[in-house]
Amino acid sequence: MIDGPGGYGGVYWDVPVSPSLGSRSTPSESGSHQLSLGLLVHKGDSKSAGGMMTFPLAPSNASSSSNLFLPREVWLVDDQEGLVRLQPPEMSEIPAGTLEKQCALWVSDELILWRQPTAGRRFALHCSSSASLKVTSDGVQGEDELIPLAVVSTAPLPTQILQRFPHLSGCSALRVPEGLKAKIPSLLRGQLAVSMRSEDTGHALSATGVQIQGVLDHVFGFSASKSPLGFKLRDGSEENIVEGVVGTVQVWAPTAQEVNLRVFDSPSATRGRNPTPSPSAIIAMTLDPLSGVWSAPVASSHLWKYYTFEARVYAHETLRVETVESTDPYSQSLSADGERSQFVDLNDPRTQPLGWRSLRGGGFQAKVPASQQQPLHTHPRRHLRPLGPPALESFTDVSVYELHVRDFSISDESVPPRLRGTYLAFCPDAIRAEKEKEETKEEKEEKGNSSRKKFTDLSSSSSSSSSSSSSSAADETPRNQPTHTFGLKHLAELRAAGLTHLHLLPTYDFGSVPERREDQLIPDPAAFRDSLPPDSPEPQAAVLAVADRDGFNWGYDPVHWGVPEGSYATDPDGWIRIREFRSMVQALHDQGWRVVLDVVYNHVYGGGAKSRYSVLDKLVPGYYLRRHEDGSTCHSAACNNVASEHVMASKMMVDDVVHWAENYLVDGFRFDIMGHLMMSTMHDIRQALDLISCRRREEEEEEEGEGDGSGNEEDNKTKEGGGGGHESKTEGGMRYLNKKRNIQQKNRNNNNNNNNNNNYYYLYGEAWDFGEVALGQRGFNASQLHVAGSGIGAFNDRMRDGSLGGSPFAPPDFQGVVTGLALAPNDGSRIRKQQGDHAATLRELLVLSDWIRCGLTGNLRDFEFETFLGVRAKGGDLRIHNQPLAYGVEPQEHVAFLGCHDNMTIFDIVTEKADQAESSESRARMVLLCHALVAFSQGVPFFHAGDDLLRSKNLDRDSYNSGDWFNRVDWTGSTNFFGSGLPVETKNGGQWEFKGTLLREAKRLAPTKEIIQRTHELFKAYIRIRYDSVLWRLPSAENIKRQVRLFNTGPRQVLGVLAVVVDSLPKGEVEGEEGKGEEESRRGYDPKYEQVYVVFNCAPYEVRVDVPADLCRDAAALQLHPILDNPKLDPITASARVEGGGPGSNAVFVVPGRTTAVIRAAAEVGEEGGGEKRKEGRKEGKKEERYGGKVEEGDDDDDDDDDDDDDDDDDDKIIFYVMHVP
């Protein structure tokens, strides 16, 4: 320590520096190079003084070390950026603190916290409405008002403060004077600082700026959280009718000194036919002092016009009062590139495709007016409602296919060029209309009615390798799903196989792509010529040259959460993007899909007062973005982390989810980096969606009664009363709340609150626990451990890492159970021993096998099984990285996945990890094992688009900005594009040598068309088998613990083999059970199968697996599942067999290498449980399950309606989805 004048002191280091070792050449401003010394001081985990500090050691023209100047001393003063000196500082010139950091936190109307010692110190709050504060050696100067702060002697901090701000534990508390509370709102609109002085001498010791997020919530949060924000139309009631006014626009900006509404006649200041840089109207907005909400009426003449907000607000980033212009955080429509918000009526027909008003989201169906009846999609006894996606009984019926909107069609030549990469590429009607527009009159006459056949048969040749049991692609396509393009045909096949949910990567307005097509740059076509070698760097160089200005990006760069992205629309200006997004949702619903939105609430693309992409941080600087204790913005989630622990940030997320559910009828949400959101926010979102489900269920039940006259007396009371049968708002609200209470009570009775059929919206996300929120530092965050029991799904990285090996951050050739660990080692294992010697890899193989077993059984922390050590343990008691191996409470919380848009595709991962001697056929079988592990896991299976076609991104580990070239998908299955050049250098350059070695082998490693198509057919077969039996989709933990058992476990297991059996509950027990768990027990009964088995042989050779006698109910009844028992589908899989099983002998499963075998025992049918075995898994006269599959006509919707059907007209047919079982 050293002492300085006035009691100043600090730490010093004596660091010997050798000029030859401690210097480096850095470019100067003129472009020449000079020798310099780098200095980096850490303050905990943070870099002091803003990061690396450099000092010139010689002039730029120095030619030898003899001319070097090496400083004897370097002085860093109080961690202040820019205040680094080479000589002892004159302390009288050093400011006593800085306002560039905000280390004091005003957390309530009573307390300000600052991590400083308080003994012998006195503190004060400095306020300036004009931002005139500055810090000198004598302390803070320039305030309008100086307020003394009392030191709170009690320690620790109050419980309610620690619950809200756990990361501030240990800070000193300073009390605000009681009489100041009334002035707090006005003080928060200016610049604030807290100073510290010596109580004895009065010397200024330090000063800092103030963070005000906590006090904003305390003062305004309650009122503001109940305020509707954004543009709202008048509701039409008499008290709200104002002549010439169509609605109100409101924005929360409690720290703003002034806010004006600026209205524009056109979407842009510089672009388009009539650019208008100046507003046609400027309207002063009115502040509500209780909520901090500014509002202004919107004239009827302003509907469909554009607007922005202009605010005068203090910005801590610039230390000035800034005049900022911002779009509306609650925008519902935008001009291109988010330049201006638009006043829009979402109920206006121009924003809706034909038939939109008849739809309901979340699995609901609605009445269709006679003028909008669509016979191919209707059910006559459901009041002609669109059929839409088939009903799901449980969230474990969900399966997800993850897809990027642009990837789906940008490279699909069967899509009209204008529609490629757009929402409308999902819409058969739009495609048909566009193709007809492109045709000449003569071509139309020539083709006539043959055009539809042409569209249907586009890819019929691709199904030549399909077996009759899995059926051809054309046969599998439901007849109400027109296949106009290769991509739509592929989706139709997957939907027919049983997949239920289409997860779309971000479709909100994001900032990383120019929305106008004419602004999007195109890579140099010469870089993609066929003559280039498979490891050429030219394609990636061309992609990177335009990467930030082309049309591709994943889109995890949110600017406006509530508006569809404009680059996917045919016109990004105004309401067209709304209609086209709705058209996509409507078309996907018609094709039987539910739609999941990928929402990114953990961060925003822009921050600060100057960024064109900043919205939230312009209007309320420093509030919405999570900040470190020194006031700097947190960036652990990518950039500009959003603080959902703050009231209005959380409100905005909840409001946005409700907006998409109600106005766009989506069916689920995937939360990016969900672990950075608070569980309180996730609970509020879940509750808000449940209320929508409750309300819509009530509406549907009322319509049922009105439609057939069978409504009960209570439902029809309002029809008999006066006033046209309309109930008051109070009566309707009470009935709604009573309905909700009844549903909640039913949920509690079923002991399955989150899996009830009244909740239609499935929620899941990335529950990773890292960054500033890790271990609950900012509150109870939505990490893997915390979501347990909430019913919200979380991706299971344990199963992924155990199957594939390592992790996304481990060496690329680390192996896992599927990729050859110990049983087919690659050079990394065999030569470099990077995973240990042979004994170590064998042990790791056993450990990772148990990881996968936990995933196969639903990732339940209470599921018990025999570990490789021979002891029985629950999944939650096993540890991985100091965390429980299994953490879930219910199976719907388990999202089973091995591949997604992040990291590499499964084919690419296998390519890097498998031994280089493995053939393309062997690698494809490894990929199929990955698909099977996911498909037959209890929980919710998740697949990345194209993985079923062995999709390759040329080993790109992060293709978020790698252009269309590296993100292509060939929906015909002709190629997977492996060998199209080295992946982009920005993310992969450090591994080019390794990746290049593999790419040069593309001719040998790339799969043939036959291999791709066989993989796709087997993938569909796995999905069909999953939906062939409820036993793969058990709805509760109790079902799984009772019905699922693992075998081939313990220390004597057959290496590389995972085996599971699922028992059906006895029929008699199900029919007789009442009360708790009745619904789950019913779902645990399969009338077709007594048992189903699955054996995953990850070894490269054939294995024999004994089935313990105590597991097998009837060994003689065991057979390979008929879908797989077909050599035309896959002769290797079809060679799997059951041996033994006779009197006195156990059954033995014989499974070929790298093969998944599904074996089932057919149930007995007939009275008293006797009778013949059911053949081929079905009983004559019984309907098949409706979980997706082939469309059939003429079946009944209800067994009780058989007599009524005889009187139906010929046109009165029912069309719905049923599972096709050979």
Determine the residue type at 966: F
Cis peptide preceding 254, ω within 30 of 0? no
| 75 beta partners | 85
- How buried is residue 1146: exposed, middle or buried, by Cβ count under 10 Å (0-12/13-18/19+)? middle
Element (H or E) spanning 183, and its range? none
Distance CA 1032, CA 1093 (A): 10
CB atoms within 10 A of CB 1034: 26
- How buried is residue 881: exposed, middle or buried, by Cβ count under 10 Å (0-12/13-18/19+)? exposed
Return the beta strands (E) in 144-292 as ranges. Answer: 145-151, 172-175, 191-198, 204-211, 230-233, 245-252, 256-264, 281-284, 286-288
Going 60 to 63 to 69 to 75, the CA torsion angle's sign is positive
Distance CA 658, CA 341 (A): 20
Per residue, what are the HEC states of 692-708?
A: HHHHHHHHHHHHHHHHH
Burial 160-170 (b: 16+ CB within 10 A, else e): ebeebbbbbee
- How buried is residue 893: exposed, middle or buried, by Cβ count under 10 Å (0-12/13-18/19+)? buried
Full DSSP string of 1108-1166: -TTT-S-GGGEEE-TTT--TTT-HHHHT-EEEE-STT--EEEEE-TTEEEEEEEEPB-S
- Asked if 125 contacts 147 with a C-beta cutoff of 8 angstroms, the reply is yes
Q: Is 838 helix (H, G, I), strand (E, B) or coil?
A: helix
- To the query of whether residue 557 is one of the catalytic residues in this protein, the response is no
Place of tokens 């989706």: 491
- To the query of whether residue 530 is one of the catalytic residues in this protein, the response is no
Nearest to 1020 by CA among 397, 387, 460, 477: 477
CB atoms within 10 A of CB 32: 11
Catalytic residue from among 397, 766, 844, 1130: 766
β pairing state of 84-85 and 864-866: unpaired
- Helical segments of 1044-1085, H only: 1067-1072, 1078-1083
- Helical segments of 982-1138, H only: 985-988, 992-999, 1002-1005, 1009-1026, 1037-1043, 1067-1072, 1078-1083, 1131-1134
Q: What is the DSSP letter of 317?
A: T
Distance CA 207, CA 214 (A): 20
| 641 beta partners | 603
- Asked if 306 contacts 263 with a C-beta cutoff of 8 angstroms, the reply is yes
- Asked if 462 contacts 973 with a C-beta cutoff of 8 angstroms, the reply is yes
Write the CA distances from 1033 to 193, 285, 395, 640, 760, integer angstroms.
Answer: 58, 55, 9, 39, 17
Distance CA 883, CA 878 (A): 8
Catalytic residue from among 672, 797, 813, 1017: 672
Nearest to 630 by CA among 100, 233, 64, 1096: 100
Nearest to 382 by CA among 693, 757, 704, 705: 704
Q: Which residues are catalytic?
A: 672, 766
